[in-house]
Chains A and B, each alone.
Chain A
Amino acid sequence: MMYKKKKVTLFIQCLVDTLYPEVAEAMVSVLEDLGLELDCPTEQTCCGQPAFNAGHQSEARSAAKKFIELFEDAEVIVSPSGSCVNMVKNHYPDLFSADSSMLERARAVAAKTFEFTEFLVDILKVENLDARFPAKVTYHDSCHLNHCLGIHLQPRKLLANIRELEFIEMKDSDKCCGFGGTFAVKYADISSAMLEEKVQNIVDSGATVVTGCDMSCLMNIQGMLSRTKAQVKVMHIAQLLSAK
């Protein structure tokens, strides 16, 4: 295993840090069980994605600068959130295209940042974590993870190896859940219509748990599942992988 001896630095999405700390704890327990040494810069806040997506590039740039300063000494950076990894990997370099020294630093950080399931499957070459989770589970492909990072098979491989887990593919699993950051608030009607379709597909699948690799989308989905009192639980993939 290539990174076995390297120290893994945790990049925790702000939503996970403040709303779903149990997700980060689950990821920590998976990584520790693999014998990895972990590190976490506790000064980290938001990577700047909401500002960037809303067009506020100078605000996003200051968030990016802080992130780069905090993480540039890391050996490898791992995050439980696809859209934040996409931000660092694909948009940080864009933000500094006019500043060659920052650009170089942004590229260096981007090159060593990985999404959690990508890190497990593609880098560590681990697909079976000896987890057990007896439930019917369906998976939502988050857009940035799937369309921008091409991470689609990795989570499915990991789920396939969880004992007693029955995997059910929902209809249009790769269709957007309608979150889109401020889009969900500014264009609430359109966003809600998209989410309704997603929630319907989840319920129709017959699964009792919906999982994914990005708490942003899962928070959005959970919001409507809760409002409509649907009997489906929302769990991050790390929580399933750490279950014994």
Chain B
Amino acid sequence: MVIARRAEQVLSWGRCHRFDHVRLIPGTIDEAREAVRGEGPVLPFGLGRSYGDSCLNDNAVLIDTQRLDHFVSFDEAKGEIVCEAGVSLDAILALLATKPQTDGYWFLPVVPGTKFVTVGGAIANDVHGKNHEVEGTFGRHVNWFDLARSDGQLLRCSPEENAELFAATIGGLGLTGLVTRASIRLMKVPSLMLEVEDIRIRNLDHYFEVAEESRSGWTHHAAWVDVLAEGKAAGRGIYTRSRFTTCENSKEAKSGGPRVPVEAPSWAISHPTIKLFNAVYGRKLFGEMRRTECTPYGPVFFPLDGVSDWNKMYGRGGFYQYQCVVPKDLARESTAALLPTIAEDRQGSFLTVLKEFGDITSPGMLSFPMPGTTLAVDFPNRGERTLELLDRLDAITLDAGGRVYAAKDGRASAEMLVQGFPKLETFRRYVDPAFSSTFWRRSAGTR
């Protein structure tokens, strides 16, 4: 067996961490099993949609799963799909769209904000969607997976079999071994269309009101927030809630949107352009207080996927995404502290999202979601100034007993991460000795 290998610089999605790597690209599961026994330290790599350093392994080996992209089976009666770990959610959704059932369609119960992630990556970050309150995380819908370990074993893991390793691998940041194949439970939806309602939000209190009121009847929720609104208007934005439905008179789904060809010059993301964008986007409703329409799921769940390589908008320096969750009882207070900290500093960018997490627990030991409110904001990388602001946000999150999302992180302190992962010590027992990552060495290596 000759496994493909390339020495190259790899960047993660935020484009501010760039390191030299050796990339191994196994073409079969046997080759993958051989690759994990390799030179060490190794780390699995999916589609690189993690923003920070958790999918990177500086000066060491990445095991790229792009060629492990085969379906194994699809049980249309049970709604169960088995595939290799490099299959993307995009490929699964495209397949499901071609398999109408008598009573609707099978669909992935949990999808993140982009469909260009692999099944392996979705498991390793235990990703969440806009319906966390209803379906929990991706890991809850995994029947089993096969895990290749550096001692040569290939272990079937499920809630019954190798249960601890199952729990450690879900949200386990690729550190417990390489997932080679997985079985995913699907959910039935009446059609591939969503009824979507946009509601204009006046401020943060109004956000919590609408979120509360939306719990009955709506399954998917997220609010876009005008990050520059201050004072009484802090938290102003648009709340979008939706649910699968059968409806006609739909907008046509467009395929292949625009592309950002090269890194944009730095003025493209500056205070005036951000202000302009927020002003324009904030008027999306054109004065209406709310609007309902019927839309294909794509633009609702994956709005950013319409623009290829949008991450290059931030220029050579790249950007950080800050995503934290603060627990329910302190959610209002802490969010009210986070927003003005961001607004005053005038660094925040186009994308600011507020979302509620429910209390469905995940099987994963290091899973990010906890009951409460999650905030995600993009910040162009302006060096020290940006890092210093993020530290201030950390302090508020830490105070509230919250945590930051490893998939988005590239800079938080070890302390932050230790607090965020109460099961960290148990987790350590399941880390494969040949596996590591830049994130892991940076954060959990020190106690």
A binds B: no
